[in-house]
Structure 1
Amino acid sequence: MRSETMSRPAKQIHLAAHFPGVNNTTVWSDPEAGSHIDFSSFVHFARTAERARFDFLFLAEGLRLREQNGQIYDLDVVGRPDTFTVLAAIAAVTERLGLAGTINSTFNEPYEVARQFASLDHLSAGRAGWNVVTSWDAFTGENFRRGGFLPQERRYERARNFLRTTWKLFDSWHGDEIVADKETGVFLRDARPGAFRHADPDFDIVGQFNVPRSPQGRPIILQAGDSDEGREFAASSADAIFSRYDTLAAGQAFYSDVKGRLARYGRTPEQLVILPASTFVLADTDTEAQELAHEVRLRQVSGETAIRFLEQLWNRDLSGHDPDGPLPEIDPDPGENTVSRGRASVRMYRDPIATAREWRERAEAKKLSIRELIIEVTGRQTFVGAPETVAHGINDLVQADVSDGFILVPHLTPGGLDGFADRVVPLLQEWGVFRTDYQGETLRDHLGIGVDR
């Protein structure tokens, strides 16, 4: 299928760029791999995304370095700076690029987060985006005074309450419109911009919000959950949702399901943008790109890394196994995670035993070693080929309602986005499916959502 032959008007593609930092995506052995903490790396990456007219730059964040078998391991980056600090600094060296970051709703407080995002939205002239995430492990909680963790069913409840509370703070600068609290009915005789009162099972606060209404009203809300609770949370509250589905059938099913939930909240399909995270490998020809992609995967998944990935499913110490040998004969331990800390690990797989069975069947059918299997099942090189091949691949999936665009994750930073900006974006622009210039000032404008007031 080639999208230019389709009868309906072409959808406009949304593109964002992820500066990686909490996984093994980056090929550190490449001479072009740069620092993940020097500000010059962030500047280069952001300016490339902006000259390519991307919607936004995205920063993930981990609140504690992960451990496996009691040691910090090589699937993490050590030394990632604070998200708000980096985004505020990038705001000073860019003009239109959206600035989105992950901020946790489990181990933060609404007043502080609302104040930080309202400030960032002012400093950037309306380009702030918030990826709302939750945490569930006590290991991460040990870094915080409250400590502990939330069970699965409570994580999204707190996140919803957290978001409602921050919205009340963002909206508190409507001035004279605030005459009574909608939940308590308490009349605020001294109603003035910034006055707020909010009470729910998680938060009970009252006071004065000290940051005026920002250019977007509220920051763009992003969400990444794939569970039923996560999809419902996105349908009710998010402006964009990350997706892990980038194949035709799975992507269309996810797209249809999430978009179909919006009506019950009085929303239209255009009010939620679906963006899978995807990697890419470019070369002059498709054959060269395939060869390069294979080399990249070998560098991303060493023998040791393959064993560590396998341990996350098996929930067992597998350090004695040969990464070039077969899968373990023993089944995964489906109980509480004891091998990986600070990561979803076994919880990433709803049925570890069934997943292990699928992996064994695949390995036997293709005669794959542990490392070869892990390279295959963890691969995210969605787009591999010459520039035109990659451009068609992206456009075809968007036009087929697999997604509304993609968040691109290069395997090199800070220069890994350069080739895409120089060789793929011009083709999408030529076909009329991607902007040649920004049409608005704010991130809401870029996403086509409009100002939230």
Structure 2
Amino acid sequence: MSADTRARRQLHLAAHFPGVGNTTVRADRKSGSRIDFASFEHLARTAERGLFDFFLLAEGLRPREHQGRIHDLDAVGRPDSITVLNALAAVTDRLGLAATVDATFNEPFELARRLATLDHLSEGRAAWNVVTSSDAFTGENFRRGGFLDRADRYTRADEFVLLARELWDSWTPDGVSRPFAHHGRHFDIAGEFTVPRSPQGHPVVIQAGDSAEGREFAAAAADVVLTRHGTLEAGRAFCADVKGRLAAYDRDPGDLRIMPGVTFVLGDTAAEARERAAEIRRRQISPRNAIVALEQVWGVDLSSYDPDGPLPDIDPEPESGPARGRVGVADPFAVAEEWRALSRERGLSIRQTVVEASGRQSFVGTPESVAAEMDAFVTAGAADGFVLVPHPAPGGLDEFVDRVVPLLQERGVFRTEYTGTTLRSHLGLPDPVWKG
């Protein structure tokens, strides 16, 4: 390997098991159960065969509804992510195991204990993807109920992560347990933690969010940031902004990894890849799903509209208060105008507009072009790596591992073997300093 190759910036890869959202094509022969352990095992083993950093599971605390009907992808249920990852720890050796767990509807002692247990069982491969929730729809499943304002969500999450780290640090590196006490705005607890300091010291903390509050929270508390995939220029601006905030928390740019979530479609030629991508988008957005997507923007019942007809000529009516089982958008008027402009420009129906506006894949092309484009993003400082979301799960990742990973390795930008045993070592992150 030449000195020039050794100097190439290395990229990081992770795999996300899809289950929430419209990326999955359920009818694809490579799609499987969202409950059967064999599905999780297949995708995790494929990711480990591809030498990925970690495997990410999402969390759904309540099936989403629209007009009283459970969303198609939620109808089979959502298993607990940490439970699944504990089982995956037994059938994988090096792959990081990341659980998405809500900081709004969980408690620090319980969650810190479960994550520390996963880190022990996996010998240092655990991660926590911190998310928050503000909707009363989900809150109805919990004793407290209700919802938190946006600002309160982040202050609770920030204190939650701080307290979890206090709990993990309440055992010394040489195995001595010490009492803990925390008296804060959201939590007031004291006692003794039951799990010794884990192999990584602290499980890796992952955070997803593009808002100003989310970026500040990431700079203060996260090891990995999940974000949306966009243009190279937008990626560079996001990375510069978030990493530029680290100094205020006595952190260096190398203390944080930024990894956009991406999809991919491969073909033997560019034309074949584009054709496959278009077909996937059509299969992702059914006529009913197109109307549902429209209603999430307009905020009113549009079931009488023809999916193959024109967009509504009425203005959106944003709902007040927290959302009930629907995704919604931050600025429905702007989205509606954007969709109308797209429809007018290209003469698109409702379904065609939704397909074009919300169903695009991140990387479409030959394995060679996809490898080159990913490399270019990382080299330009627009990302540190990517979280791949395969369209069919669990079999959708196989093609990427078989056809793209070897090309990234040939370019000298991706590992050819695991050199460490913990997730922190895969990510190139420093071990946490014990705060005695």
Query: Above 0.5 in TM-score?
Result: yes
| TM-superposed deviation, 1:249 | 1.8
Whether contact under 8 Å (1:16, 1:55) holds in the other structure is yes
Within-5 A mapping of 1:2-41: 9-41=7-39
Which of 82, 85, 88 is residue 84 of structure 1 equivalent to? Answer: 82
Partner-residue secondary structure (3-state), 1:100: strand
Within-5 A mapping of 1:320-331: 320-331=304-315
Partner-residue secondary structure (3-state), 1:321: coil
Within-5 A mapping of 1:189-338: 193-336=177-320
Q: Which amino acid aligns with 1:119?
A: T
Partner of 1:137: 135
Whether contact under 8 Å (2:136, 2:324) holds in the other structure is no
1:164 aligned onto 2:162: yes
1:435 aligned onto 2:415: yes
Deviation digits for residues 381-429 of structure 1 (CA, Å, limit 9, x no counterpart): 1111111111111111111111111100011111111111011000000
Q: Distance in 2 between matches of 1:73 and 1:84?
A: 23
Partner of 2:397: 417
1:368 aligned onto 2:351: no
Structure 2 segments unaligned to the other structure (5+ residues): none
1:152 aligned onto 2:135: no
Partner of 2:325: 342
1:445 aligned onto 2:425: yes
Q: Which amino acid aligns with 1:272?
A: L
| TM-superposed deviation, 1:73 | 2.2
| TM-superposed deviation, 1:7 | 11
Partner-residue secondary structure (3-state), 1:62: coil
- Percent of aligned pairs with the same amino acid: 60
Deviation digits for residues 328-383 of structure 1 (CA, Å, limit 9, x no counterpart): 11111123168x623441xx32x221221122112111212111111122124111
Which of 46, 68, 71 is residue 70 of structure 1 equivalent to? Answer: 68
Q: Distance in 2 between matches of 1:77 and 1:49?
A: 26
**TM-score, normalization: structure 1?**
0.92
Whether contact under 8 Å (2:126, 2:423) holds in the other structure is yes
Q: Distance in 1 between matches of 2:5 and 2:380?
A: 12
| TM-superposed deviation, 1:75 | 4.6
Q: Which amino acid aligns with 2:82?
A: F
Q: Distance in 1 between matches of 2:393 and 2:93?
A: 21
Q: Which amino acid aligns with 2:357?
A: V
Q: Which amino acid aligns with 2:406?
A: P
Whether contact under 8 Å (1:194, 1:212) holds in the other structure is no
1:397 aligned onto 2:377: yes
Deviation digits for residues 236-274 of structure 1 (CA, Å, limit 9, x no counterpart): 000011111331121111111111111111111111111
Deviation digits for residues 68-89 of structure 1 (CA, Å, limit 9, x no counterpart): 1122122535222111110000
Structure 1 segments unaligned to the other structure (5+ residues): 178-191
Q: Distance in 1 between matches of 2:383 and 2:191?
A: 41
Partner-residue secondary structure (3-state), 1:322: coil
1:93 aligned onto 2:91: yes
Q: Distance in 1 between matches of 2:194 and 2:72?
A: 42
Identify if the C-alpha distance between structure 1 residues 268 and 117 changes in structure 2 by more than 3 Å, giving closer, same or farther. same
After superposition, the CA RMSD in angstroms is 1.8
Whether contact under 8 Å (1:248, 1:402) holds in the other structure is yes
Q: Which amino acid aligns with 2:325?
A: G
**Divergent runs of 4+, >4 A:** none
Q: Distance in 1 between matches of 2:229 and 2:98?
A: 21
Deviation digits for residues 201-223 of structure 1 (CA, Å, limit 9, x no counterpart): 11110101010000111111111
Whether contact under 8 Å (1:243, 1:277) holds in the other structure is yes
Partner-residue secondary structure (3-state), 2:185: coil
Identify if the C-alpha distance between structure 1 residues 9 and 66 changes in structure 2 by more than 3 Å, giving closer, same or farther. same
Q: Distance in 1 between matches of 2:417 and 2:215?
A: 32
